[in-house]
Structure 1
Amino acid sequence: MNIQNYIAKRFQHAGSGLSLDTEALAKYSDIIDLSIGDTDFTTDEAIIEKAYLDAKAGHTHYGDPKGDPELIAAVCKAWQEDFSQALTPDHVLVTASSCLGMALTMLAILNPGDEVIVFSPYFAMYRSQIELAGGVCVDVPTYACENYAISEERLRAAITPKTKAIIFNNPTNPTGMAYGRETLELLAKIAQEYDLLVAADEIYTTYLYEGDYIPLRTLPGMLERTITLNSFSKNFLMTGWRVGVIIAEPALLCVMNQVNGALIYSAPSISQRAAIAALENRARIRERYIAAYRERIFYSTERLEKLPYLSLVAPKGTFYLFPGVEKTGLSSGEFCKALLERAHILVSPGDVFGIAGKQHFRIACTVNIDKLREAYDRMEALSF
C-alpha cells in the first residue's frame, strides 16, 4: 500500500514552510535559536490571573461562535481609544489565532482561480492559506536595495481580471519594514481603482519604532474594503493562548463564522477571558516589553551592520531582521547551514518567504540581550 496515493494532490508537493527544527536543536547543546517568532517573555501575570479566576468561575465551556461578547466589546472600546474610529460588535469575529483568521478570510472570499497579491518577502503561511482556498498566490517583489518600498508600477503590472485581493502585512514579517501613510494611500487608491479587497495583517502594531501606527481601514474609502487581522500572540506575548480577531464587514464575517464553525466552532473560552485582561492592561503591558524589544532590535542592527559579509536594511518594526548574504556567494540555505554547523546558530532561510527572500535569512530577536551578544560574537568570528 502506497499511503502517498491517499494524500490529496494539492498537498503532495507542499513545502514545509516555517517550523521548529527539532533535529537541529537536539544536535548541539549550545545552540542559539533565532529561528521562530515566539517570545521568551511569559504572559503578563494579570492576564494569567484573569484566566485562572474566570476558569474557576465556570468559563470552561463552549462559547459564542462569534466570540465572547465581553471580549468583542473590549476590542471595540480599545479600537476607538487607540485609533479614534468607531467599531461596532457586528464588525468583529474572534478566532483561534490570526493564522486561522487569514485562512478563514481566504476561504470566505476566494473562488477557484482567484488571484491574491502578496508583497514578497512575506510571511511563509500566506501562500498555503491562499492555495488551500483554491486561490493563486501572486508575488510582487520588494527589494532591500529599495528599502522594501512597494512599487506602484510592479503592483499595477500584477493585477489581472482574476485579482480578488491584496494581503498587506504592516509592520512586516520577515523584513521588519514599517509602512507609513504614503504607502497606505497608494494601496487605498489601487484597491478602490481596481475594486479589490485588502487583507491587512496587523499583528505587530505595537512593535513600531518610528511614528504612530495607522490602520489601513481608517483611510478614506477603505472601511468596507479592508479585512483587518489582529492577534494577541505578538502584541500581548500570548502565543500559546491562540486567540485573534478579524475586523470586517458583517456579511463577510457571517461567512467566516460559518466556515469557522465547520472547523473548530469557537476560540478557546479561557483564552478569550485572558484577552479581555490583555486589552484592559494594554498600556502597562506594552510599556514593559516594547522597550526590551526596541533595545534588542537596535543592538542587533548595530552588530549586524558591522559584519562585512552581510547587508542589512534597518528594521522599523516587529522583532525581526532580514540580512542579505549576497557578499558570501552562498545561497540562503547554504549560509544558514554553515551558520548552524560552524557557529551553532539556528535562523530561518529567506527562501520560504517568497521570491524576494532569496539570499537572505531571518533573525528573530526572541532571546535576551546576553544571548544575542553571544550569537553576534560567534558570527563576528566567522569569515566567508
Structure 2
Amino acid sequence: MKHRFIAKRYWNDISTPMGESGNLMREYDDLINFSLGDPDLITDERIISAAFEDAKNGHTHYTDFLGDLELREEICKYYKDTYKYHVQLEECMITTSGCHAMWLVLESILDDGDEVIIHEPCFTPYPQQIQLTRGKPVILETDEEDGFQVDIHRLKALITNRTKAIIINTPNNPTGTCFSKKTLEAIAKAAIEHDLIVIADDIYTAFSYEQPFIPITTIAGMKERTITIGSFSKDYCMTGWRVGYVLAPDFIIQTMKDVNENNVFTAPSISQRAALHALRMRDKIQPPIVEEYKKRMFYAYERIKDIPNMSTLPPRGSLYLFVNIKKTGLSSIEVADKILRDAHVLVLPGNAFGACGEGYIRIAVTVGLDQLKEAFDRIEKMEIFS
C-alpha cells in the first residue's frame, strides 16, 4: 500500500497467492489443504529428543558464525559419502532456512542491475528475492511438452553481458520435474562458456523417484562456479526448525558470513543440533518419509488420470503435481477458486509460479491417503470436471 511511512519499493502490492493462502485455510471447517509444501509428518521423535538433550546440555548459545562445527563436518561427510564429492569446512555455511540462504547468496554476489535467469514455472519468491538484492530476474519458460526440462537454446538466447547467474531447482517446485543428466550437463556447459554462476536450489534431493539425484556441482568444471543451497525442511520434515546451508567457494562463503552478521548473525543453535542428528540418522529416518510421499504422489496421479479436464505428468520428484486444467476453459485462478468454493479443497493457481504456469494448478500431497481420497472424491463431482 502507498504510505509515507512505507518504503516506496513496497507501495505496489507484492503479496502472492502462496502467501495469501494462509488466510483461506480458515474459511471452511472441512477444508483439505493442498496449498503449501509443508510436510504434514512431524519431525522424527529421535531428532526432537536428541536436540532437546543438547539444549539441556548447554547448546543454547550462538554457534560459530559459519554454523555449528559438528553440523558442517557432517554435511561435508554426507557429500563425500553420497556423491564422492569433497567439500572443505570453509566452503560450508549454515543458514536460517533455504529461503534465507537464497537471499544471502543473491545479496553477496549481485551488483545493481545484474541479471539472473530463472526457469519458470518457479518457486514464487525467486523474482522478488532477486529484485530485493537489486538484480533483474530474466524468465526462461519451460513447457509440459518437454517435461519442463530446460531448453538449452532458449537459455543461451537469454544470456547477455549483464547475466551473472542461473537459478536451477530440481526436483522442481512446482512441476515435480527432475532435470536429466543431459540437461544438467548442457546447463553446466553454458555456464562455463559464458563464465556464469549456477545457484542450485537443492531442496527436494530425497524426493527423486525415477533416478538418484545428481547435484550439478559434481559435474566436471562446476565446483568453482556453483552455489548449492540445501535445506532440512522437506527432506527431514523440519520446516519449522528453519535451518539450511550453502556450499560455495570459500570467498563467497566469507562474504555471506559478513553479510549475515548484519542480518540474523547465526542460525538457531537448537535447530542446528536437530539438523546434525537428522543427518546422522538419515538412513533410518528418510526412507519411510520418502516412501510415504511417493505413495501419495502416485495415488494422486492415478486419481487425476480418471478425472475429465485434468491431466498431469507422471510423478518424477518433489511433493507436487502440476495439474493441467486448460480443457476447463477457465483460468488457473478461476479453477482454484471453484475448487475451494465447491469442494472445500485449497490448491494454488499455476500462475502463482510465473506466467507460463497459467492453465495449471499445483497440488501438494501433504495430507494422508484418506484425505487425498476425500479431496478427489469431492473434486470429481464438480461440474467442470464431469
TM superposition score normalised by structure 2? 0.97
In 1, are the aligned partners of 2:166 and 2:199 still within 8 Å (CA)? yes
* CA distance, structure 1, for counterparts of residue 147 and residue 288 of structure 2: 30
User: Cα gap change, 1:14/1:105 in structure 2, threshold over 3 Å: closer, same or farther?
Assistant: farther
The match for 1:124 is 124
The question of 1:9 aligning with 2:8 is answered yes
Counterpart secondary structure, 1:273: helix
Gapped runs of 5+ residues in structure 2? none
Counterpart secondary structure, 1:240: helix
Q: CA shift at 1:15, angstroms?
A: 2.3
Counterpart secondary structure, 2:223: coil
Cα RMSD after superposing both structures: 1.1
The match for 2:349 is 349
The match for 1:205 is 205
The equivalences for 1:318-357 within 5 A come to 318-357=318-357
> What amino acid maps onto 1:187 in structure 2?
I
* CA distance, structure 2, for counterparts of residue 301 and residue 257 of structure 1: 43
In 2, are the aligned partners of 1:175 and 1:315 still within 8 Å (CA)? no
> What amino acid maps onto 1:248 in structure 2?
A
The equivalences for 1:59-208 within 5 A come to 59-208=59-208
Q: CA shift at 1:383, angstroms?
A: 2.3
Please list every run of at least 4 consecutive aligned residues from structure 1 whose deviation after the TM superposition is greater than 4 angstroms. Answer: none
Q: CA shift at 1:3, angstroms?
A: 6.6
* CA distance, structure 1, for counterparts of residue 13 and residue 247 of structure 2: 30
Deviates more, 1:44-53 or 1:5-14: 5-14
Q: Percent of pairs identical after alignment?
A: 44
Deviates more, 1:36-45 or 1:3-12: 3-12
Deviations along 1:32-69, one digit per CA (max 9) or x if unpaired, are: 01000111111011110111001000111111111000
* CA distance, structure 1, for counterparts of residue 226 and residue 105 of structure 2: 11
The equivalences for 1:234-273 within 5 A come to 234-273=234-273
In 1, are the aligned partners of 2:324 and 2:361 still within 8 Å (CA)? yes
> What amino acid maps onto 2:268 in structure 1?
P
User: Cα gap change, 1:211/1:252 in structure 2, threshold over 3 Å: closer, same or farther?
Assistant: same
* CA distance, structure 1, for counterparts of residue 214 and residue 144 of structure 2: 23
Counterpart secondary structure, 2:108: helix
The match for 2:381 is 381
Q: CA shift at 1:23, angstroms?
A: 3.5
User: Cα gap change, 1:266/1:274 in structure 2, threshold over 3 Å: closer, same or farther?
Assistant: same
The equivalences for 1:229-308 within 5 A come to 229-308=229-308
Q: CA shift at 1:20, angstroms?
A: 5.5
Would you say how many aligned residue pairs link Structure 1 and Structure 2? 383
Q: CA shift at 1:345, angstroms?
A: 0.5
Deviations along 1:247-271, one digit per CA (max 9) or x if unpaired, are: 0000001111111110100000000
In 1, are the aligned partners of 2:110 and 2:135 still within 8 Å (CA)? yes
Q: CA shift at 1:315, angstroms?
A: 2.7
Q: CA shift at 1:153, angstroms?
A: 1.5
TM superposition score normalised by structure 1? 0.98
